Amino acid sequence: MSLKEDVGYIKNELSSEEKFIENFVKGERFFKKYKTLIIAVVVILIIGLIGFTIKKSMDNSNKHDANIALSQFLENGDEKALETLKNKNEKLYEVALFLQAKKDNKIASIELPLLKELVKFQRATASNNIEELNSLSMQNDFLLKEFALFNKALILVNEGKYEEAKKELSQISQTSKAYELATLLNHYLLTK
């Protein structure tokens, strides 16, 4: 037999155990070759997991502290609680300012989008400003669009512009909560 035939014969005779050992040796070589990289990836994953856990814990703690501060501010008007709220959760701070301004019959300057819309709506209805209500009702994503339309129609009725009021009321969809109010106002407008 030649050397090539011997090598072929030996390869054919390898059992599954020998193949397992061969794969183990290959794996060991791979590990030795990339040992530093593998250890670095494992360390980074562990550090990332620890960091994520700590951040989540801190966020929960801040949320709890902010909720307590909001409760204290709303119950007692505690300015220290308001300052804590400002540091812990800016959005709840703005909610507290909005609620305080509403309680004092004032209008707060708010940056939170939904509360900002509510403030605009309050200003427009308080001042009977049809242009502002029209602007709000034209925004597709405005939270109180149908109520803005209803209030606009109500102002128009008070000014004696009944046909314009009917046109505004017709824009309120039947699935809206303001539809019942619009129906009542429409019944009133039938006599006008």
- Say what the pLDDT of residue 166 is: 86
Q: How confident is the model at residue 55 (pLDDT cuts 50, 70, 90)?
A: very high
Query: Whole-model pTM?
Result: 0.53
Answer for the pair 167, 149: CB distance below 8 angstroms, yes or no. no
Report how far residue 191's alpha carbon sits from residue 172's, in angstroms, rounded to the nearest whole number.
20
The predicted pLDDT at position 42 comes to 95
- What kind and span of H or E run contains 30? helix 16-33
User: In the predicted model, what is the mean pLDDT of the chain?
Assistant: 81
∠ CA 132-134-137, nearest 5°, is: 110
